[in-house]
Amino acid sequence: MQLNTFMEDIVKKMDAPPNRDAISFFNRYTGKIEQEEIYGEPFLRWTYETTPGQIALAIAAKRVWFSKWYGWRMDRAASRTKVLPFIETYKLDPNEFQDPPDSFRTFNEFFYRKLNPAARPIDSDPDSVVFPADGRHLAIADVSKTDGFWVKGQKMDLARLLGSRELADRYATGSMLISRLCPVDYHRYHFPVSGVASESRLIPGSLSSVNPIALRKRLAILWENKRVITEIQTESHGTVLMIEVGAACVGGIHQTFTPGAVQKGDDKGYFTFGGSMTMVLMEPERVHFSDDLLKHSSQQREVYARMGDVAGFG
């Protein structure tokens, strides 16, 4: 009974409305710096900024079983009552959905919904690299220079992230695009380039939050969390690595593609409930990121952009 009460208390914190004292990002479409409305922000701040929260994190929040339990809740028929309030609270546009809001049988079905193709046009320039997902993005021109990218003294550990020293050496001075998907975002991810995609490789791990509130405390979350890596052989961009990172309440990273030839913008897979992240890693000097990405990333500020829009050019 005590465990059930403890877990229900966590859920109440996750479902609480945002404090609106949120993280700022640059919106490419409005041209303005805006404030993020973080789903479950009270829970995140309690977890990472208080002693009781740190204890709860160690006991449950970053554990795989907790995410599976929460995912089970989102797969229950009762969870569909959350769909319409969620759409209204976060001002989502149902006209973009492939299926109407009342057709979703559970909250998770709504969460990994498909969109109408016209809602996310794919940039047609053969030299462009596009965003693989809707979300807030950071660009790193040279991964070896990430010291202090989030917090001074924290560097990217490529060998642990990729689970391979050989790959880490190959991409040591490569370029990285980090796309953070919030719970309010469209949660399917797509190929950023055309090429030949390999089988995906799973690296097991825990499931901590990938929100900046958490990453600023511990960047190692990126290489401790569960993740999936796919190699894409391309003609003009070299070998591109695409990495999906699971996070708190995201037990499921689902691949929908068939290994082999893929086109830029093709559906690659989807996350089940929660915030999550994709990372695109490219060999040195294979991409020049868009100016707004580089400018705001240098100030540790994410750029909001949608899947299919230009992230850079080869």
Query: Which residues are tagged catalytic?
Result: 134, 190, 276
* Whole-angstrom distance, CA of residue 191 vs CA of residue 133: 9
Amino acid in position 254: H
Beta-bridge mates of residue 48: none
| Cα-only R_g, the chain | 19
Distance set, CA 44 to CA 12, 51, 226, 275, 305 (Å): 12, 13, 19, 11, 24
* Whole-angstrom distance, CA of residue 314 vs CA of residue 289: 9
Beta-bridge mates of residue 253: 271
Judge contact between 36 and 183, C-beta under 8 A: no
* Whole-angstrom distance, CA of residue 143 vs CA of residue 139: 10
* Whole-angstrom distance, CA of residue 164 vs CA of residue 223: 12
* Whole-angstrom distance, CA of residue 171 vs CA of residue 169: 6
Number of residues in the chain: 314
In the chain, how many H helices and how many E strands?
A: 11, 17
Alpha-helix residue ranges (DSSP H) falling in the chain: 2-15, 41-49, 51-56, 64-74, 83-89, 107-111, 158-162, 165-170, 212-215, 221-224, 291-298
Give the pair of three-digit tokens for residue 113.
């919904």
